Chains A and B, each alone.
Chain A
Amino acid sequence: MEHTSPFERIIRGVLIAAVLLFFLFPILWIFLMSFQTNEQVLRIPPSLFFSPTTINYTSLVTGKLQTAAGSLDLAFMRNLGNSVLLSSVSVALALVLGVPAAYAFARFKFPLSEDIAFTLLSFRFAPPLLVLLPLSLYFQAIGLDDTYIGLIWVYQLIALPLILWIVRGYFEDISPDIEYAYRIAGHSWLQTFTRIAIPLARPGIAAAGLLAFIFCWNNFVFALILASADKQPVTVGALAFVTASGIQYGQIAAAIVLSVTPTLALALFAQRYLVEGLSLGAVKG
């Protein structure tokens, strides 16, 4: 790093700029699109210069979509609320279940422990479509079809393995002697877990929870199949913009901007935590 020629520095700058442009341009374009009418979006050639309009945002918030064919009702704000509800309750449940399980896998050697832990992780490998058809049939049979509870249950497939494996690494990094010291001082196993292990693993738990929240938020296919319009999150709700009279690009862009904002804000806010949390948990001391 110390011995770089000006030429190398220039090359590096150009390459970094190219990568940034590659990844960030679509986001910039979406952001610009969200302030254009459908006609402006579909102009050929496209132009960076236009007179901005907030019509897309107002129609999303008021729930009335004006198209050439007439007025259409939109459930976008409700979808946004569903996303918040589904993601946060799913992550909360996954934390309640996953953190104690992670502790058990980290601290206790019981028969098949590695196999069970790996099986849980393998839920992340399987393509969701593989389980969705049988799952939707079962859900219809037992009445969980098109309910928040059913969706939150299925979202555990996303959140639980993630939390389990990240937090487990964190618990493994805590020296067992620290926990022993607390127990020998006269505290029960449960007190040691809640007052020593959980506080010490807190950065890892926070990072895992945040990541699980983002993954739940971004999920599309589970809700698409298992929920009807009033239970769907924004990812599925955005389909409503593909109307009989055409695709509402402006509103889609505005919807994307609105739905990305919470997770983006969360990720930026916790960026340091996230990077530290994920890397620390992975490396054993």
Chain B
Amino acid sequence: MAQIELRSLTKSYKTGKVLKGVSLVAEQGEIVCVFGPSGVGKTVLLRLIAGVEELDAGAIFLEGRDVTDAPPETRGVGIAFQNFALFPHMTAFDNIGSALTAHGASASIIKAKVEKVAALLKITHVLSHLPRALSNGQKQRTALARALAADPKIVLLDDPLRNVDAKLRYEMRLELPSLLRASGATVLYVTQDYKEAMAIGDRIAVLVDGRFEQIAAPPAIYRGPASVSVARLFGDPSINLIPIKPKATKDGAVCEIGGATVSLAEIHAATPGRSLLLGLRPESLNVSDQQAPDSFPVEVMAVTPLNEKTVLLLRTHDGQEIFASEAGVENETRQPGPAFARFDATRALVFDEASGARIEGRA
């Protein structure tokens, strides 16, 4: 039985339509990351599920029950807000216990459950503190503990790592998946950091322009984004998109990039005659001083060493700027100047220029 089922949810505000038919099914124990650029309506979606905002149309089923019109206190979800939303006048213990007091649990049960979840999140030593005496990391853990304390079947997390420092964010990215999996809950995890989504989610639901553009496992999304807009959201630097118009030759399709003719024979999606976008991840570009078959001339404009990788800004002879990234910084002799770029045809993506949809190429 699906734990969370959303059926074409729509929601508008005075400023315009935010959600235009969002559908999703999440199974028991699954962690689904809702990912998208900021302001796209991710938080609104969580609020609709929690019941603190009203739907315009659509239906929400939680644990198989239609809760579309149910008040928030009857939905049985655990939630952690991006701004923590701790109760400022209650200690961390009472904050975490608040999810249990509602259901008439006895003081000893509350104590046991709060202490268990606090130990899991390593905040036992601050349980008697008020929120204002907690560090940001402790606040974040307290909010998380509160969401998990009552063992909810459904947990909604709204960008819980956004307001914590980078070190803690890394630690939590490692800890969270096992913690959430141990709880056995179905989790909707909102984030606007693609790395976080890839680290934490079993599946990623990419929210673009009011709809889920793609819902798939992290590697599938990275390797096979459904559209240009999804492809652009994953990867740093983001994907290079080069407009091409393949021509048929006796050796297969070719196209012209920066004045050089490049073979597209291995890329089956590159139908001759169509206006396409060639999607090249920076790491699938190979930059060399030597000309090679199917390479095209570029000018290296800038070299940015980033410890684990070096990012190159290239300009093709027809004026397009593209990024290439090389693992490590071993090639320290890399200097701005003329060079040749070559791409790995097996990793190239092809999109329809008009619709932005990816064209499947494997014949």
Task: Name A residues whose Cβ lies closer than 8 Å to a Cβ of B.
Answer: 175-178, 180-189, 191, 196, 199-200
A184 touches B98 (CB 8 A): no
Known pairs A185-B99, A186-B99, A199-B89 / 15 extra A-B pairs, C-beta < 8 Å: A177-B81, A178-B88, A180-B79, A181-B98, A181-B146, A183-B73, A184-B52, A184-B72, A185-B73, A185-B98, A186-B150, A187-B73, A187-B101, A189-B71, A196-B87
The number of residue pairs between A and B whose CB atoms lie closer than 8 Å in the complex comes to: 64
Pair A181/B87 contact, Cβ less than 8 Å: yes
On whether A188 and B73 interact (CB within 8 A), knowing A180-B50, A180-B52, A182-B98, the answer reads: yes
Min CB–CB distance A161 → chain B (angstroms): 27
Contacts of B146 in A (CB 8 A): 181, 185
- Chain B residues with Cβ below 8 Å from A187 are 73, 98, 101-102
- Check A175 against B103 for contact (C-beta < 8 Å): no
Instruction: Give Cα A196–Cα B79 distance, bound, in whole angstroms.
Output: 17
Tell me, in angstroms, the Cα distance from A278 to B293 when the chains sit together. 76
- What's the minimum C-beta distance from A106 to chain B, rounded to whole angstroms? 16
Whether the Cβ atoms of B87 and A178 lie closer than 8 Å is yes
**Does any Cβ of A come within 8 Å of B197's Cβ?**
no
* Closest residue on chain B to residue A182 by CB atoms: B98
B51 contacts partner chain A, Cβ-Cβ < 8 Å: yes
Q: Is B85 an interface residue (CB 8 A)?
A: yes
In the complex, 20 of the A-B residue pairs with CB atoms within 8 angstroms, ordered by the A residue number, are: A175-B85, A177-B83, A180-B52, A180-B72, A180-B79, A180-B81, A181-B79, A181-B87, A183-B71, A183-B72, A183-B73, A184-B50, A184-B51, A184-B52, A184-B77, A185-B102, A185-B146, A186-B102, A186-B150, A196-B87
Q: Which A-chain residue is minimally distant from B99 (CB atoms)? A: A185
Q: What separation, in Å, do the CA atoms of A225 and B101 have in the docked complex?
A: 53
Please name the residue on chain A nearest to B50 by beta carbon.
A184
Interface on B for A, CB 8 Å cutoff? Answer: 47, 50-52, 71-79, 81, 83, 85-89, 98-99, 101-103, 146, 150
A200 to B87, CA, bound (A): 9
Point out the residues of chain B lying under 8 angstroms from A183, CB to CB: 52, 71-73
* B100 vs chain A, min Cβ distance (A): 8
A182 to B88, CA, bound (A): 12
Q: Given the known A-B contacts A180-B52, A186-B102, are A200 and B88 also in contact in the complex, defined by CB atoms under 8 Å?
A: yes
B45 CB → nearest A CB, Å:
15
- Residues of chain B within 8 A (CB-CB) of A185 are 73, 78, 98-99, 102, 146, 150
Residues A200 and B150 in contact, CB atoms below 8 Å apart: no
- On whether A182 and B50 interact (CB within 8 A), knowing A177-B81, A187-B102, A188-B73, the answer reads no
In this complex, the member of B73, B75, B81, B101 whose beta carbon has the largest number of chain A beta carbons within 10 angstroms is: B73
**A27-B78 Cα distance, complex, nearest whole Å:** 60
Instruction: Give the distance to chain A from B102, nearest Cβ to Cβ, in Å.
Output: 3
Residue among B75, B85, B89, B99 facing the most chain A CB atoms (10 A cut-off):
B85
- Return the 10 tightest CB-CB contacts between A and B, nearest first: A186-B102, A177-B85, A185-B99, A180-B52, A181-B85, A183-B72, A187-B102, A178-B85, A184-B72, A177-B81
B87 pairs with A186, CB closer than 8 A: no
List residues of chain B with CB within 8 A of the CB of A189.
Answer: 71
Residue of A nearest to B83 (CB): A177
**Residues on B with beta carbons closer than 8 Å to the beta carbon of A180:** 47, 50, 52, 72, 79, 81, 85
The chain A residue with its CB closest to the CB of B149 is: A185
> Once bound together, how far apart are the Cα atoms of A176 and B72, in whole Å?
14
**Bound state CA distance, A189 and B74, in angstroms?**
12
Q: Chain A nearest CB: distance from B86 CB in Å?
A: 8
